[in-house]
Amino acid sequence: MTLQNSVPTAKLPSLTAFFPCYNEEENVELMIKTFLQILPQLAEKYEVLIINDGSTDRTAQKIDHLKKKYSHVSTVHHSRNLGYGASLRSGFKAAKYEWTFFTDGDMQFDVSQLAEFIQYTDKYDVIIGYRRRRAEGGMRALNAKLFKLYIDFLFRLHVKDIDCAFKLMRSKVIKELPLQSTGAFTSAEFLYRLKKAGYTFKQLPVDHFARQFGKPTGNNPKVVVKAALEAFRLYLHMKLDRVQGPPVSARTS
């Protein structure tokens, strides 16, 4: 694979590209090889970081085999399934280079479109994607729209596609955030905290494709309910902090 539309771009000095995966044995090898073909065109130094979230199939064995084969591949293994948000947090923590990019491990995005994002790294610390069209069908799109309305009502976030798994950020800005959530709300939480910290987002369209292998987990009702509850708990926490004000030692006369 080459850069889509041969987009010219200056290389980043260094880049960690990671993706969470849970039972993606049919996708993980192609995902890694795709990254290894694209990233040398985008960064002087790079790593492919795979977060294995307690997979019960052969995902872990495939990852470890590829790690031995390719020097640019790194891994984090969760001993049990901790969820998407925990995987994102592991990826943010383990990323060792100046820029961090993450996507999903299900091959539903074209990694070569990352080249278009890099063109904006001289002006923005956070570049996020939004799907031109969701490929999972009407019910998944409806659920996503309702969740976006819910998050916008609580946090006034107002980005086009909150949970689009195609985001590029300067690593230091994400590592400094005090993230609390562990579920699917994590993506919305770090965007909210970045907005509160004064960062502006460059939003770019990306293509989204139907999953070819494996089973999706994001539309599981338990996942959706957990994300909604985590969002509401954070909202209450933020409201309580504003009502109470800063600690006495931090107040000025």
Q: What is the pLDDT of residue 136?
A: 64
Q: What is the pLDDT of residue 124?
A: 96
Q: Which of 222, 148, 149 is nearest to 187 (CA)?
A: 148
Identify the three-state secondary structure at position 22. Answer: coil
- pLDDT class for 245, splitting at 50, 70, 90? very low
Q: What percent of the chain has pLDDT over 90?
A: 54
Cβ 59 vs Cβ 19: under 8 Å: no
- Mean pLDDT for the chain overall: 84
- pLDDT class for 181, splitting at 50, 70, 90? confident
Q: How much is the average pLDDT of 204-218?
A: 73
Q: What is the pLDDT of residue 137?
A: 60
Cβ 77 vs Cβ 52: under 8 Å: yes
Please report the domains of the chain, with CATH numbers, ordered by start residue.
11-244 (3.90.550.10)
Q: Which of 44, 53, 14, 57 is nearest to 168 (CA)?
A: 14
Cα separation of 135 and 42, whole Å? Answer: 27
pLDDT at 204 over 80: yes
Cα separation of 166 and 184, whole Å? Answer: 15
pLDDT at 8 over 70: no
Q: What is the pLDDT of residue 180?
A: 80
Q: How much is the average pLDDT of 220-245?
A: 66
Q: What is the pLDDT of residue 10?
A: 81
Q: pLDDT (tens digit, 9 = 90+) per residue, 15-73?
A: 999 999 999 999 999 999 999 999 999 999 999 999 999 999 999 999 999 999 999 99
Cα separation of 92 and 86, whole Å? Answer: 10
Burial class (CB in 10 A: 0-12, 13-18, 19+), 199: middle
Q: What is the pLDDT of residue 229?
A: 79
The C-alpha torsion from 27 through 161 and 159 to 123, rounded to 10°, is 40
Q: pLDDT (tens digit, 9 = 90+) per residue, 73-131?
A: 999 999 999 988 899 999 999 999 999 999 998 888 999 999 999 999 999 999 999 99
pLDDT at 172 over 80: yes
Q: What is the pLDDT of residue 187?
A: 84
Q: Which residue has the higher pLDDT, 144 or 37?
A: 37
- The DSSP result for 131-200, as a single string, is ESS-SS-HHHHHHHHHHHHHHHHHH----S-TT-SEEEEEHHHHHT------STTHHHHHHHHHHHTT--
Q: What's 11's DSSP letter?
A: P
Cβ 161 vs Cβ 131: under 8 Å: yes
Q: In angstroms, how far is the first alpha carbon of the chain from the final one?
A: 61
pLDDT at 135 over 70: no
Structure tokens at 53: 């979230």
Pairing of strands 73-78, 166-170: unpaired
Cα separation of 187 and 152, whole Å? Answer: 13
pLDDT at 246 over 70: no
